[in-house]
């Protein structure tokens, strides 16, 4: 992180961001590594909605790649 932008690939992959999310949720990777994997999956940004307990991951064109519920606990 350190305020340095991460590379984001042009081709978005719902499969790859899902894999990264599962690794982050299981605690097997750091947040830093998650941001690297998200960029490699084509995720330019994500939006967290704490009311609906949902995280949405978008590519550089604003296309939704993955909508994932926030796990409880």
Structural domain boundaries in the chain: 14-69
pLDDT of residue 62: 96
**CB atoms closer than 10 angstroms to residue 59:** 21
- Residue 41 corresponds to which tokens in the numbers above? 């999956």
The encoded tokens of residue 43 equal 């995720």
Q: What is the pLDDT of residue 1?
A: 54
The whole-number pLDDT of residue 2 equals 64
Q: Is 70 exceeded by the pLDDT of residue 11? A: yes
Q: What is the mean pLDDT of the chain?
A: 93
Collect all residues with Cβ–Cβ distance below 8 Å to 23 and sequence separation of at least 6. 29, 33, 34, 37
How high is the pLDDT of residue 5?
82
Determine the Cα–Cα distance for residues 51 and 3; give it in Å rounded to an integer. Answer: 28
| Tens digit of each residue's pLDDT (9 = 90 or more) over 32-65 | 999 999 999 999 999 999 999 999 999 999 999 9
The CA-based angle 25-59-42, given to 5 degrees, is 65
């Amino acid at each position: 992180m350190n305020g340095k932008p991460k590379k984001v690939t042009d081709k978005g992959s719902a499969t790859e961001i899902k894999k990264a999310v599962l690794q982050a949720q299981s605690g097997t990777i750091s947040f830093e590594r998650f941001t690297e994997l998200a960029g490699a999956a084509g995720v330019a940004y994500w939006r967290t909605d704490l009311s609906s307990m949902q995280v949405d991951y978008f590519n550089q064109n604003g296309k939704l790649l993955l909508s994932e519920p926030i796990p409880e606990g």
